[in-house]
Amino acid sequence: MVLLVFTGVHAQHSIKLLVKDKHEKTPLAGATATIPVLKKTMVSDSLGRVVFSNILEGNYVIKLSYVGMEEMETSISVPQVDETILFLEEAEEHEEEVIVTATRISRTISDIPTRVETISGEELTEKGNMKPGDIRMLLNESTGIQTQQTSATSYNSSIRIQGLDGRYTQVLRDGFPLYAGFSGGLSLMQVAPLDLRQIEVIKGSASTLYGAGAIAGLVNLVSKTPGEKREISFMANGTTAGGLDLSGFYSQRFSKTG
């Protein structure tokens, strides 16, 4: 008796990948490569190479991922002719940045050696709604700052920083001194918060940039810039003495101007 046994043998192949940074053209060690249909996952070595063994002929979708890089998906045909080089691109990260202008140049707050405190966003809107037309409430929320009323009739107020007299505090508007530096008698009631984007405060001497008027520090009132959408705001104030004032703000971007 003769027994014949036939066994089907399928050719086994390998998938070889080389993972690199798209811009630096350097190998990426620790990149994760996955073949979902086979449920196989490999990690690139120190040279950026990935090898999948015992793979049957066919087309396979491979997914690549790496920390800080965009995920990538590609198709590989087996058997391969040569090692496949794949490039991963750096992922874009959108982080909220606070831009300050109180140092003459607009820079991110993390790049400035001087400590700059900012009041902006929801805090500015919230305090503005609680007491419209008066920015003193905004300034009083910050430690080390006190607004002192200097006139009962005109409601003039001075800003004291770290206990020093108001004449040593410089008040700026978009980086420029209000009334050529003579802003100690400015009525803060006349500074409507409608067009304020943020308030920047520097505590301590800033006289190097702004002269002797900024010995105690400075307060910079930064105006809004026109956005993509048109903005219209109105504010009316009334007093028990019969006083009434109306303020308005309108902004719109026209091409590159606004």
Whether 130 and 214 share a structural domain? yes
Q: Mark whether 104 and 204 lie in a shared domain.
A: yes
What average pLDDT does the segment 84-94 reach? 84
- Does residue 38 contact residue 13 with C-beta atoms inside 8 Å? no
Q: What is the structure's pLDDT at 220?
A: 83
Q: DSSP assignment, residue 90?
A: B
Of 205, 210, 208, the residue nearest 171 (C-alpha): 210
d(CA 172, CA 206): 12
The last residue of one of the domains, among 29, 55, 88, is: 88
- Average of pLDDT values for 143-171? 78
State the pLDDT confidence band at 97, using cuts at 50, 70 and 90: low
- Would you state the pLDDT for residue 8? 46
Is the domain of 105 the same as that of 71? no
| 213 lies in the same domain as 151 | yes
In this prediction, residues 100-120 reach a mean pLDDT of: 63
Q: Are 51 and 14 in contact (CB under 8 A)?
A: yes
Quick one: pLDDT at residue 133? 61
Any domain includes 254: no
The most confident of the ranges 71-80, 192-201, 216-225 is 71-80
Q: What is the pLDDT of residues 27-60, one digit of tens each?
A: 999 999 999 999 999 999 989 999 999 899 899 9
Chain segment 54-71, per-residue pLDDT in tens: 899 899 999 999 988 899
pLDDT score at 7:
45
117 and 208 in a single domain? The answer is: yes
Angle subtended at Cα 231 by Cα 228 and Cα 235, rounded to the nearest 5 degrees? 160
Is residue 148 domain-shared with residue 174, that is, in the same domain? yes
Task: Answer whether residue 132 is part of any domain.
Answer: yes
Percentage of the chain surpassing pLDDT 90? 21
Could you tell me which residue, 41 or 202, shows the higher pLDDT?
A: 41
- Cα–Cα distance for residue pair 13/84, rounded to 1 Å: 14
Residue 2 lies in a domain: no
Check whether residue 111 and residue 214 sit in a common domain. Answer: yes
Q: Same structural domain for residues 103 and 219?
A: yes
Last residue of a domain, which of 32, 65, 88? 88
Domain contains 217: yes
246 falls within a domain: no
The count of structural domains within the chain is 2
Round the average pLDDT of the chain to a whole number and report it. Answer: 77
Residue 200 lies in a domain: yes
Q: Under a CB-based contact definition with an 8 Å cutoff, are residues 157 and 147 in contact?
A: yes
Q: How many residues does the chain have?
A: 258
Is residue 238 one of the residues assigned to a domain?
no
For the segment 152-171, the average pLDDT, to the nearest whole number, is 78
For the domain that residue 191 is a member of, what is the CATH number? 2.170.130.10
- Regarding whether 67 and 121 lie in a shared domain, the answer is no
Q: How far is CA 31 from CA 25, 92, 133, in A?
A: 14, 18, 56
Across the strands, what pairs with 141? none
Do residues 71 and 177 both lie within one domain?
A: no
d(CA 137, CA 250): 24
Confidence of residue 92 (pLDDT cuts 50, 70, 90): confident
Residue 93 is assigned to a structural domain of this protein: no
Q: Provide the 8-state DSSP code for 138.
A: H
Instruction: Provide the pLDDT for residue 192.
Output: 64
The residues near 139 (Cβ < 8 Å, ≥ 6 apart) are: 145, 147, 159, 199, 201, 219
Within this chain, do residues 57 and 122 fall inside the same structural domain, yes or no?
A: no
Q: What residues make up the domain containing 181?
A: 99-225
